[in-house]
Structure formats: structure tokens, C-alpha cells
Amino acid sequence: MDLHVPVTLLYGGLTGLLVTLLGFNVSLLRLTKRIGYSQPVPPELQRTFRAHGNAAEWVPLGVVLLLMLELSGRVTRLPLHLLGGTLFLARALHAVGMLTRWRVSAVGATLNYLVLVVMAVLAVWFRFLP
């Protein structure tokens, strides 16, 4: 069985790097601020911790949906790239908005919800199409 999934590999890899970088940032903060895992997160660091946690919560679902659509063979590469690119853009905007004073986290969250709904609806739709 040939599982050739270049689009999912690209956006799975990019979003995986994003989640890893956000996690590395949390680890560095824990180390430099001497915050143990059993200690509460100081209020000034909660946004940093949530930026990673939020990405870790949403990225797997997006990548799995993208993979299912790619494996279905019913979506051509351009729409897959648009979906994957939007997923990555959404997660990056949300993270930037959480970590900076730029007010783009709501845009990222909205894009995230939209792209996940589109992929989920397509997956269910394709299940019932002949």
C-alpha cells in the first residue's frame, strides 16, 4: 500500500515544528524562572503556557483531518494546500497573538475553527457520497 501524502507531510511537519518551538519556549521559561511542574504558573507567563497548550490541543485534529482528506483521494492538491496552509497560518497567528501585543490571536482562532469545520464537513460529506 502506497501512502503518498506530500501535502499532509508538509503541513504536519510545519505545525509540528510550531508546536515544538512553543513547547521549547515553555521549557526555557520554566528553567530560567525556576518554575517546577507542581508549581502554579505565574500570571505573567500564563499566555506563553497557553499558546503552547492551545496549539498542542488543536493541531493534531487538523493534521488528522487533512490526512483523511488527502487519503480519500477526493480532494486535489490545491484545496489540500489551501486547507493545510490555512491551518498553519491560523495556528501561527494565534501563537503570535498570544505571545506578543499584536492583536491577531482572535483572527488565528477564527481561522482555526473555520478550517477545521470545513475539513470535518468534507470528511462527513465524502463518507456519504457514492
Of 94, 98, 28, the residue nearest 62 (C-alpha): 94
C-alpha to C-alpha distance for 44 and 13, rounded to whole angstroms: 30
* Type and span of the H or E element at 86: helix 77-99
pTM of the model: 0.93
pLDDT tens-place string over residues 18-33: 999 999 999 999 999 8
Task: Name the burial class of residue 6, with classes exposed (0-12), middle (13-18) and buried (19+) by CB atoms within 10 angstroms of its CB.
Answer: exposed
Most confident of 28-32, 108-112, 125-129: 108-112
pLDDT band with cut points at 50, 70 and 90 for residue 39: confident
C-alpha to C-alpha distance for 15 and 31, rounded to whole angstroms: 24
pLDDT tens-place string over residues 61-95: 999 999 999 999 999 999 999 999 999 999 999 99
pLDDT band with cut points at 50, 70 and 90 for residue 17: very high
C-alpha to C-alpha distance for 104 and 36, rounded to whole angstroms: 30
pLDDT at 1: 58
pLDDT tens-place string over residues 3-12: 799 999 999 9
> 34 versus 78: which is more confidently predicted?
78
**C-alpha radius of gyration, the chain, whole number:** 17
> Contact 90/108 with Cβ under 8 angstroms?
yes
